[in-house]
Amino acid sequence: NAGVMQNPRHLVRRRGQEARLRCSPMKGHSHVYWYRQLPEEGLKFMVYLQKENIIDESGMPKERFSAEFPKEGPSILRIQQVVRGDSAAYFCASSPGTANEKLFFGSGTQLSVL
């Protein structure tokens, strides 16, 4: 049973470009979370999605950031017009969607903005 798969592992973008981060949850998991880890800071919640629905995006910046989890395919975190401050590790996690307390994390995408 494959774990949470994130790609790419490393992504380099120049200021003003777009970044697309992908996350395939564990098989059977319908709930996806995105967290961001800035250098010297703890993991910060960004957004919580179920299939075709954004449930809570209270941790996501209002501009330039968007997320989706379509009926088919991976969840996508999209960052438009990236700036240097967007450089961070972005982690996706999934859960089965019950009251299960365990989150399964992917290995993350390290985004570097030049």
Partner 1 sequence: EDQVTQSPEALRLQEGESSSLNCSYTVSGLRGLFWYRQDPGKGPEFLFTLYSAGEEKEKERLKATLTKKESFLHITAPKPEDSATYLCAVQATMTGLGFQKLVFGTGTRLLVSP
Q: Which residues pair with 75 in a beta bridge?
A: 23
Residue 21 CB, nearest approach to partner 1 (Å): 13
C-alpha distances (whole Å) from 7 to each of 50, 89, 92, 100 are 19, 12, 10, 26
Residues binding partner 1 (CB under 8 A): 4, 31, 33, 35, 40-45, 48, 55-56, 59, 91, 93, 95, 97-108
Cβ within 8 Å of residue 97, ≥6 positions away: 29, 30, 31, 50
Residue 67 beta carbon to partner 1: minimum distance, rounded to whole angstroms: 14
Nearer to partner 1, 70 or 97 (CB): 97
The smaller minimum CB distance to partner 1, of residues 59 and 74, is found at 59
